[in-house]
Amino acid sequence: MAVKKQKLLQKADGLARDKKFKKAIVLYKEAIAEDPNDIRTRLRLSELLYQAGRTEEALAVLRYVGDYYREHGFLLKSVAVYKKMVEVDPKLTELHGTLAALYFQLGMAPDAIRQFKSQIRALIRQGKIIDSLHVVRSMLELDPGNVMDRLRLAEAFSRHELIDEAAVEYRRVLAVLEKSGRTPDWGKVALRYLHHSPDDFEARKSVVEFLVETGDYLRALQHLLIALNKDPMDVRLLGLAATSFELLGQPGKAIVALKSLAALYRHRGQAREEQEALVKVLGLDPKDAHARRALGMEESADEAPAGEVVLEWEMPAGFKAPEPPPVPDLSDTVYEPPSFAEEWVEDATIVETIDPDALKELMALEEDREPSQPAVDILALKRAIDARKPLSPDQLGQAGVPLAPEDREELAFFLASGLKDEAMAILQETYNRLTRKGKK
């Protein structure tokens, strides 16, 4: 089999040199049939197919090769093949996502971001705005704490009536802001979230608590109306309603809420809490006969049987569901007015791979090396990466940077072939390996 394959390749190479592409292609395919794992021959076949104007066939062969490299762990080689495919056919926008994933696996976040942005721009030009939004979501997975861009994404989903998707993004922003406490920014985003996810009862309770804490009692009552319709026996909500009415100067309605609260506590056997609610009633109206009888201050003629819930709560007439909140204006903190356009994609802020703290830690470890061990000039490697000026294997050796034999060969090949990005990828991978080792 090997002899037959060798003869086919020799004859095919001769035909290719004579530019007899059609016949050469046939022989290359026969050679591949003899040895399906011969990737080098497949690459040569793709080149001839492209020269013969058979672009689709050439791309199919390249995809096979790129997938083969990826599945077998040759990530840098698969990157080179996929980049060639995009160069041949820019409409293959999905490959930008594939390249982004590969770069992320290689620890090259900035390169991954560039691929995501290229994919987004291409989709926008093709009018596939919804698809581009989902790519933005994938890009933001590189930076879960990026509140500004995630809010922009949520608003973009909302404008295109993708309500569930918008709600998910708002919820994720809330989770980040929650760590800083329920600030005014948290409240604005929470109200916007409820507009998209009105059935989230726990979130609405949190919003009511926030509005009461910040003194927005009227809006709190609007949300209380919705929440109490869902669960009229929630003691926390009834207490917040009483507080809101009292501080709005409506003691009569506060008393109604407190009496309902006391009845619920009595039903649950919580005598101390019932007494506290009734004491609050007397604080608002010292002559309230119901509270005085319940507290034993007056004789009771027709007290309700023990355990019976007397729910006297009713929301005041005239209250409506809250108006949809405006887009949160957090321009002084984490947010900018929403706009989904190419400019935003270019300006999106995503994490960088260079960690200054990790670098300091690594340098501290380098100082502790024994004199017999050559020091690694990690700063020289970092400067080369920042300047995007690849170092040769010899230059890396002078800097004391360890390089595996296969990486040395690939780096030399990439530099000789003018493949700057691929050479930079090896430097970045080496830097990441060294900094990870430093963290350990």
- The arithmetic mean of pLDDT across residues 291-305, rounded, is 66
- How would residue 342 be classed by pLDDT, with cut points 50, 70 and 90? very low
pLDDT at res. 164 = 92
Residue 105 lies inside a defined structural domain of this protein: no
Instruction: Tell me, yes or no, whether 74 and 32 share the same domain.
Output: yes
Task: Please give the single-letter amino acid code of residue 161.
Answer: E
Residue 51 lies inside a defined structural domain of this protein: yes
Which region holds residue 250: left if phi is over 0, alpha if psi is between -120 and 50, else beta? beta
- CB-CB contact of 324 with 87 (8 Å): no
Instruction: Tell me, yes or no, whether 201 and 288 share the same domain.
Output: no
Instruction: Tell me, yes or no, whether 205 and 340 share the same domain.
Output: yes
- How would residue 205 be classed by pLDDT, with cut points 50, 70 and 90? very high
Residue 200 lies inside a defined structural domain of this protein: yes
pLDDT at res. 436 = 62
Q: Which of 143-152, 219-228, 269-278, 340-349 has the lowest mean pLDDT?
A: 340-349
Residue 135 lies inside a defined structural domain of this protein: no
Dihedral, CA of residue 286, residue 289, residue 295 and residue 296, to nearest 10: 120
**What's the Cα-to-Cα distance from 229 to each of 137, 225, 233, 264, 322, rounded to whole Å?**
35, 6, 10, 16, 14
The domain boundary, picked from 256, 291, 312, lies at 312
Q: Which of 18-32, 293-307, 378-392 has the lowest mean pLDDT?
A: 293-307
Residue 344 lies inside a defined structural domain of this protein: yes
Residue 122 lies inside a defined structural domain of this protein: no
* Average pLDDT in the chain: 76
Instruction: Tell me, yes or no, whether 258 and 364 share the same domain.
Output: no
CA dist 176 and 333 (Å) reads: 14
Instruction: Tell me, yes or no, whether 162 and 279 share the same domain.
Output: no
- The arithmetic mean of pLDDT across residues 72-90, rounded, is 84
The domain boundary, picked from 51, 68, 92, lies at 92
CA dist 126 and 132 (Å) reads: 10
The domain boundary, picked from 350, 366, 397, lies at 350
pLDDT, tens only, 369-428? 333 334 567 777 878 888 888 888 888 888 788 877 777 777 876 777 677 777 888 888
Q: Which residue has the higher pLDDT, 203 or 310?
A: 203
Instruction: Tell me, yes or no, whether 199 and 329 share the same domain.
Output: yes
pLDDT at res. 68 = 87
CA dist 152 and 173 (Å) reads: 11
Given a cut of 60, is residue 217 above it in pLDDT? yes
Instruction: Tell me, yes or no, whether 319 and 306 share the same domain.
Output: no
Token representation of residue 150 = 């995630």
Given a cut of 60, is residue 335 above it in pLDDT? no
The helix/strand/coil state of 300 is: coil
- How would residue 167 be classed by pLDDT, with cut points 50, 70 and 90? very high
pLDDT at res. 131 = 85
Half-sphere CA count of 237, side-chain side, radius 13 A: 26
Given a cut of 80, is residue 236 above it in pLDDT? yes
Residue 119 lies inside a defined structural domain of this protein: no
Query: What is the count of structural domains for the chain?
Result: 4
Instruction: Tell me, yes or no, whether 195 and 306 share the same domain.
Output: no
Given a cut of 80, is residue 45 above it in pLDDT? yes
Q: Which residue has the higher pLDDT, 18 or 85?
A: 85
Instruction: Tell me, yes or no, whether 214 and 333 share the same domain.
Output: yes
Instruction: Tell me, yes or no, whether 12 and 75 share the same domain.
Output: yes
Instruction: Tell me, yes or no, whether 385 and 433 share the same domain.
Output: yes
Q: Which of 141-145, 256-260, 427-431 has the lowest mean pLDDT?
A: 141-145
Burial class (CB in 10 A: 0-12, 13-18, 19+), 199: exposed
121 Cβ contact partners less than 8 Å away, ≥ 6 residues apart: 342, 345
DSSP conformation letters of 361-411: HHHHHHHTS-TTSPPP-HHHHHHHHHHT-PPPHHHHHHTT----HHHHHHH
**What's the Cα-to-Cα distance from 235 to each of 209, 231, 266, 310, 322, rounded to whole Å?**
13, 9, 12, 14, 22
CA dist 17 and 12 (Å) reads: 9
What's the gap between Cα 145 and its chain centre?
A: 8
Q: What percent of the chain has pLDDT over 70?
A: 80
- How would residue 326 be classed by pLDDT, with cut points 50, 70 and 90? low
Instruction: Tell me, yes or no, whether 331 and 408 share the same domain.
Output: no
Question: What CATH number is associated with residue 24?
Answer: 1.25.40.10
Domain that holds residue 260: 233-312
pLDDT at res. 210 = 92
CA dist 256 and 279 (Å) reads: 13
Residue 412 lies inside a defined structural domain of this protein: yes
Task: Please give the single-letter amino acid code of residue 127.
Answer: G
Given a cut of 50, is residue 65 above it in pLDDT? yes
Widest distance between CA atoms in the chain? 116
**What's the Cα-to-Cα distance from 414 to each of 102, 111, 418, rounded to whole Å?**
18, 17, 6
